[in-house]
Chains A and B, each alone.
Chain A
Amino acid sequence: MMLDPVRGRPWAFLRKDLQVATSYRLAFVLQLFGIALTLALFYFLARLIDTTMNPYLDRYGGDYFSFVLIGVAVSNYLSTGLNAFASRIRDEQVLGTLEAILSTPTRFSTYLLSSAIWNFLWASFTIVIYLVFGVLFFDLKMVNPNLPVALLFLSLTVIAFSSLGILAASFILVMKRGNPVNWVFTSLSRLLGGVYFPVSVLPVWLQKAAFLLPLTYSLEGMRMALLTGVALADLKKELLALVVFTAAALFFGILSARFAIRRARRDGTLGQY
């Protein structure tokens, strides 16, 4: 009988991760409070900023709270994509479960992708909460949001960041600690990617660096689609850049994961940390 190496496994990972997450009851509740506190923080910060004095925000509807909320929500995906895979491998190595998992008929790719489902579901839940609370209680302004375009950008964003995350996980599998991919993309994206302020605020030479980051295009596409409702035709440049980046990240992510698992099996360090 040929075993199906995927069937039932993603669900098994999701159920296990949900059981583990909810077993830390206080942390679970605090995370929910954290979302509310972040919303409040940026709401009051936004009240300090006089939109008439900020021509940089005109392009996004002029409201700083709406601008920054989309930035924070989408950058959650960046963090999740970059951290989930690598931290999961590291956790499994420390727990000693990685070898136990990989001694079952489960593909490494199935393990890796399944292990991050919970993190992405949680990130998506967080975004929904941000948006719903933002609209209901904090005066989030979305003018005719173009949801299909926003979803297209969101999907590409998830794939791109996941691919970078897999690249980061490959480093962890081989090097155990020290993750240059994570370090570069997290630090630079937060500064240059336009999470808290528009990229146009930056000096021209830094703007050029910002256009090398996928987050810049993700945020631009998401904000324009959700806050001003622009059509896909007006976001061709951003879409193309994101597609190219996603394809490249996916290619290198898969390649690096294959190399890393082979190297760990060769060196006998699969379960070491």
Chain B
Amino acid sequence: MHAAEFIHVSKTYPIRGGLDRLFRNPFRRESLVALSDVSFSVDSGEVVALLGPNGSGKSTALKILASLILPTAGIARIEGRDTSKESLATRGRIGYCMAEERSFYFRLSGRQNLRFFGKLRGLSDARIERDIDDLAALLALDEVDERFMTYSTGTRQKLSVARSLMGDQPVLLLDEPTRGLDPYTSSLFLERLRLIASTGKTVILASHDLGAVDRIADRLIFLHKGEMLAEGSSEEVLNRFDVPSEIELEVAGAKEGWTAPLKEVPGIDLVEEKSAPGEGASRCRIVLGGGGIEPDELLRLLRGRFRTVSRLSLRKGSLEELYKRFSRGEET
């Protein structure tokens, strides 16, 4: 049995307009496809990241797993339970961190809010207090006894993360959990997530923080306009889509046409000059394709050919590049 499962799930939202649309087109029914025939499964102890640009269907997928939304077609399961038909049992097994900055009572303190939601989780008073203190320490939530309305964006996010980690839920659904967190807290939180997963809990997170995702996710699922474009570890995905490495080269006192010989090197797909000669330093971007010179070998070659190299950097095929390509619709 998988910890979480999507079997041919599709979701279409009806679009309802105002009176003007009703008068203009009374019989027209519009809809928005949020997910289209998406299937994947996640096993216990796995950390899986849903990636994709805004509107790709990440939050919808998490909400379906949290049983807040019903799929139009297909089945979503948490620990074998159909999230549509066994909503209550499903919700007893998940911790859900919303992407919303709000979702708390503004007049209450963070602690009062967490006590309330802890009770709704069915936790005992002692467990609630212990969890609040532990999570406040972990997330550096020093303001836990202040009113929520005084919180900064980052602190609100910390409280949202803390709420999702309360109790002992085996499946954590986290929508943009590191959004608004400072790098230090974000790093601590991610370490904790890895630790949580190592105890057999399952983490499914949607995020735009590719660095974080690359560090902690066992597997990535790329979504674009509701369709699943790729699935696998970051290495598998980068290899499959042949994401090129890039080199940034800066040379002092270069003459016109200095990049021409580079274009003849096998394996170099693109050489793009980024500044005109005479500016002092000349720069160019070199994009490597597959099957030719290796990046490290090219670096050695460049150092040998240009004696006045002032900057030379290599950026190996990255999730950022693939993300951009997916977002631009270059990979489908």
CB within 8 Å of B: which residues of A?
3-5, 7-9, 11-13, 15-16, 19-20, 23-24, 95-97, 99-107, 262, 265-268, 270-271
Contact = CB atoms under 8 A, between A and B. Distances in A.
DSSP majority for the A interface? helix
Nearest to B96: A103
Interface in B109-131: 112, 115-117, 119-122
A97 B13 contact: no
B91 A105 contact: yes
Given A103-B91, A268-B60, A19 B112 contact: yes
A9 B119 contact: yes
A147 B120 CA distance: 37
B159 to A, nearest CB: 11
Contact of B107 (A4, A8, A20): A20
A102 B112 contact: no
Contacts, number: 100
Contacts of A107: 88
A107 B98 CA distance: 19
Contacts of B120: 9, 12, 101, 104-106
Contact of A104 (B11, B69, B102, B117): B117
Contact of B11 (A24, A105, A268, A271): A268
Contacts of B104: 95-97, 100
A104 B69 CA distance: 14
Nearest to B108: A19
A262 B163 contact: no
Given A16-B105, A23-B107, A265 B100 contact: no
B258 interface: no
Interface string B20-46: 000000000000001000000000000
Given A4-B122, A9-B120, A105-B91, A266 B108 contact: no
A150 B66 CA distance: 46
Contacts of A268: 11, 13, 34, 60, 63, 69
B92 interface: yes
Given A99-B98, A262-B70, A16 B63 contact: no
A148 to B, nearest CB: 35
Interface string B281-298: 000000000000000000
Contact of B121 (A23, A105, A271): A105
Contacts of A267: 13-14
